[in-house]
């Protein structure tokens, strides 16, 4: 399945530039000027496209105006929706770099974006964060005397920090030379503390490796060159089955408990939600964050790391279930309020996991949990596919996060191995 790409570019030639990069990979692409979108049926025009590029014409705007245009464009792309989002900039970082990057992140609800400025085919390379134009430092190149955006420094994080206070991490050429697994591991570590991760690029080989390392990411920023390598990286990940499946279980039926224990016995990551934490706001927040971070760690997208499926489930042990109910009752919570707190947490965890990993493969066990997740993710269309077991089909869901391969299962349905089987179906 092709990944649908939404691009926000700051000028029309840059929009065309990235469009042709994806076109080389077989992705049908088109450019839409933001100021003229009212002249067309926007969603209908995008139906047969793989890459939708909105030109905001914001390079020469003030930062606030530029950020507003980017937010508007990103919202339109999310409505389609798209699987990946790209903030296209000038390959020498002229324009509203920090302001537009921040605006794109905020619009998408993303905590970390990958930044790749290198374009070896046009002489743009990055080494230790320092940008070069045909071997000359940016500050000593022809762009030094640009009449509107004179480039007086070559260090790309310094250019970004003129308009953003968010932390920038770097993956340098030394990291790239350690190979894909090392790069992905460092990327995942940097994501814990950085809003942006900037990649060195010396050559097309570096660009190809970087594309493989970031193909699972939802938010990319920078020049167009990475677009040439991403289609092959997407195909490679799909062919190798490196996109794991996220499984969620809120059911307490004996069938769901048996299905959870089956996965645990098979050695898959099974992460338990301590539901007794839901009555103290600080403890509740810590528990939710723990669930997210443990899931993200387990779902790393590399050939040698990362499980093919990861399950998060609410506590199922009788004593834990009883303890949660009794504690809630002592504090004045009804059964319905307790259930909503638990399902609300599971829904928020699901959204964050799907948003931050780009995972679009989801299996949910439990009728109430399925309904809550459907609402949280705003899955507005579910096309019925093949039946996995009696009464439970695999589906294609459409949501503002993109297209999902989806299974929603009643808690009391399915054989002991159903969750594993469903994960393989999606």
Q: Does residue 183 sit in the same domain as residue 309? A: no
Query: Which CATH number belongs to the domain containing residue 378 in this structure?
Result: 3.40.980.20
Domains of the chain: total: 2
Q: Give pLDDT, residue 307.
A: 55
| Boundary (domain end) residue, out of 191, 213, 233 | 233
The pTM for the full model equals 0.70
Q: Give pLDDT, residue 306.
A: 47
Q: What is the pLDDT of the chain when averaged over all its residues? A: 91
Q: What is the pLDDT of residues 46-72, one digit of tens each?
A: 999 999 999 999 999 999 999 999 999
Q: Does residue 228 sit in the same domain as residue 246? A: no
Residues 124-155: b if buried by 16+ CB within 10 A, e if exposed:
bbbbebbbbbeeebbbebebbeeeebebebbb
* Domain extent at residue 410: 241-425
CA distance 255 to 291: 23
Q: Are 15 and 86 in contact (CB under 8 A)?
A: no
Query: Which CATH number belongs to the domain containing residue 83 in this structure?
Result: 3.40.50.10840
Q: Does residue 186 sit in the same domain as residue 319? A: no
Q: Which is more confident, 406 or 411?
A: 406
- How much is the average pLDDT of 112-136? 97
| Residue 150 confidence class, pLDDT cut points 50, 70, 90 | very high
Q: Which is more confident, 338 or 220?
A: 220
Q: Does residue 203 sit in the same domain as residue 269? A: no
Q: Give pLDDT, residue 16.
A: 96
Q: What is the pLDDT of residues 204-214, one digit of tens each?
A: 999 999 999 99
Q: Are 425 and 362 in contact (CB under 8 A)?
A: no
Q: Does residue 119 sit in the same domain as residue 185? A: yes
Q: Give pLDDT, residue 325.
A: 79
Structure tokens at 136: 């000359």
Q: Does residue 91 sit in the same domain as residue 133? A: yes
Least confident of 1-10, 164-173, 328-337, 401-410: 328-337
Q: What is the pLDDT of residues 234-248, one digit of tens each?
A: 888 766 655 689 999
Q: Are strands 29-33 and 168-171 parallel, antiparallel or unpaired?
A: unpaired
Task: Check pLDDT > 70 for residue 92.
Answer: yes
| Residue 5 confidence class, pLDDT cut points 50, 70, 90 | very high
Q: Does residue 126 sit in the same domain as residue 148? A: yes
Q: Does residue 217 sit in the same domain as residue 290? A: no
Q: Does residue 324 sit in the same domain as residue 263? A: yes
> What SS3 state is found at 244?
coil
The percentage of the chain sitting over the pLDDT mark of 90, rounded to a whole number, equals 72
Q: Are 418 and 388 in contact (CB under 8 A)?
A: yes
Q: What is the pLDDT of residues 258-299, one digit of tens each?
A: 999 999 998 899 999 988 888 888 999 999 999 999 998 888
Q: Does residue 150 sit in the same domain as residue 180? A: yes
Task: Check pLDDT > 70 for residue 387.
Answer: yes
| Boundary (domain end) residue, out of 186, 208, 233 | 233
Q: Does residue 167 sit in the same domain as residue 300? A: no
Q: Does residue 206 sit in the same domain as residue 264? A: no
Helices (H), 88-202: 97-108, 156-160, 173-176, 180-191
Q: Give pLDDT, residue 167.
A: 98
Task: Check pLDDT > 50 for residue 82.
Answer: yes
Q: Are 376 and 348 in contact (CB under 8 A)?
A: yes
| Boundary (domain end) residue, out of 175, 199, 233 | 233
């Amino acid at each position: 399945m092709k990944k649908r790409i939404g691009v926000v570019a700051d000028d029309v030639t840059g929009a065309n530039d990235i469009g042709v990069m994806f076109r080389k990979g077989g992705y049908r692409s088109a450019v839409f000027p933001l100021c003229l979108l009212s002249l067309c049926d926007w969603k209908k025009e995008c139906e047969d496209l793989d890459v939708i590029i909105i030109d905001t014409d914001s390079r020469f705007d003030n930062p606030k105006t530029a950020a507003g245009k980017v937010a508007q464009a990103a919202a339109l792309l999310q409505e389609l929706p798209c699987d990946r989002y790209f903030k296209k900039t000038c390959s020498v970082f002229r324009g509203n770099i920090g302001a537009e990057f921040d605006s794109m992140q905020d619009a998408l609800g993303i905590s970390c974006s990958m930044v790749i400025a290198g374009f070896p085919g046009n002489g743009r390379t990055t080494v230790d964060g320092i940008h070069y134009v045909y071997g000359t430092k940016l500050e000593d190149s022809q762009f030094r005397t640009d009449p509107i955006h004179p480039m007086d420094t070559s260090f790309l994080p310094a250019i970004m920090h003129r308009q953003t206070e968010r932390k920038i991490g770097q993956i340098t050429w030394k990291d790239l030379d350690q190979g894909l697994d090392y790069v992905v591991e460092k990327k995942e570590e940097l994501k814990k503390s950085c809003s942006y991760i900037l990649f060195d690029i010396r050559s097309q080989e570096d660009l190809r490796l970087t594309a493989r390392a970031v193909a699972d990411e939802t938010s990319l920023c920078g020049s167009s060159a990475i677009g040439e390598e991403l289609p092959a990286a997407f195909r490679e990940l799909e062919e190798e089955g490196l996109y794991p499946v996220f499984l969620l279980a809120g059911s307490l039926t004996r069938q769901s408990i048996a299905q959870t224990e089956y996965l645990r016995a098979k050695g898959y990551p099974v992460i338990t939600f301590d539901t007794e934490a839901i009555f103290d706001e600080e403890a509740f927040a810590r528990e939710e964050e723990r669930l997210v971070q443990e899931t993200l760690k387990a779902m790393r997208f590399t050939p040698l790391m990362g499980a093919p499926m990861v399950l998060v489930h609410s506590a199922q042990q009788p004593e834990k279930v009883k303890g949660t109910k009794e504690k809630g009752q002592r504090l004045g919570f009804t059964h319905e309020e307790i259930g909503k707190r638990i399902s609300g947490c599971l829904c928020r965890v699901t959204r964050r996991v799907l948003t931050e990993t780009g995972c679009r493969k989801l299996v949910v066990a439990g009728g109430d949990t399925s309904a809550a997740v459907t609402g949280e993710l705003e899955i507005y269309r579910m096309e019925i596919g093949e039946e996995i077991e009696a009464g439970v089909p695999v589906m294609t869901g459409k949501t503002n996060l993109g297209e999902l391969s989806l299974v929603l299962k009643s808690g009391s349905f399915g054989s002991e191995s159903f969750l594993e089987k469903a994960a393989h179906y999606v």
